[in-house]
Each structure stands twice: as structure tokens, then as C-alpha cells.
Amino acid sequence: MRSRLAALLVIPVFALAACGANKKVDTSSYTCAQFNKSLKTKGDDSAGNYINQLRKEAKLGQKSKVERSELTLGIIVACRNKPASTKPAAAAIVTAKKIKAGKFRLQGKKKSSN
């Protein structure tokens, strides 16, 4: 179930990751709000540019498609249940490296004790 959810979240970003390699995005100041807005806005490919630039910074040494999916999942996890002003770059790279090493576990909802 979790892998299906992650796959559904990652698929739309693959299309964006291939777009707009020319426009630079400042990865240190890019926020979760900007990322989510880019995903929802037709013609805005800043999320794809952001992922591509994070890929260059992370230097994971894998196929570009794999790197993009790992970084995208890292961004989604870094932004989940966080304020829109959160800057996910560092957390996304750490998560992508954990995924590459096989040490990442996607956290589910906490079960209530009622």
C-alpha cells in the first residue's frame, strides 16, 4: 500500500523533472509551497528544475531516472505535515542517500491507542 502511494505521488513529478532544464531555481531558498504550486500549475516547470538541480548537488551516482525518483520522494517526505515555508533541499538529499543505501523506511500514520 505504501509503495503504491509513493508511486502515485512520484509519477507526476517524472514529467516535470524532464522539463525546463534551462531555467535555474535557487535550491537553498525553494520552499514546499513553491514545489506544490509548481506541481499544480500548468506550464510551471520549476519543480522539475528544482529536482534536476538537487540531483546535481546530491551526486548519487545512479541513473538519472532513479535519482529523480529518490529525490522526489525525499522532497515529499520532507514537506509532509510541515509548514509551507519549509525548505526541503537538505532533507531530500539525506533521504535520497538513505534510499540508495537501503536504510529508508516510509513512516505511516501513528496508530491511536484508543
Task: Write b or e for each residue in 66-78: b if 16 or more Cβ atoms lie within 10 A of its Cβ, otherwise e.
Answer: ebbbbbbbbbbbb
State which residues form the domain around 56.
2-101
Q: For residue 27, is it within any domain?
A: yes
Query: Per the structure, how many domains does the chain have?
Result: 1
Spatial contact of 95 and 60, defined as CB atoms under 8 Å apart: no
- 52-81: average pLDDT: 94
- Residue 11: pLDDT over 60: no
Residue 23: predicted pLDDT: 73
Q: For residue 112, is it within any domain?
A: no
Number of neighbours of residue 104 by Cβ within 10 angstroms: 17
Residue 69: predicted pLDDT: 94
- What pLDDT digit, counting tens, does each position of 16-63 carry? 445 545 578 889 999 999 999 999 999 999 999 999 999 999 999 999
Instruction: Write out the three cell numbers for 79.
Output: 514537506
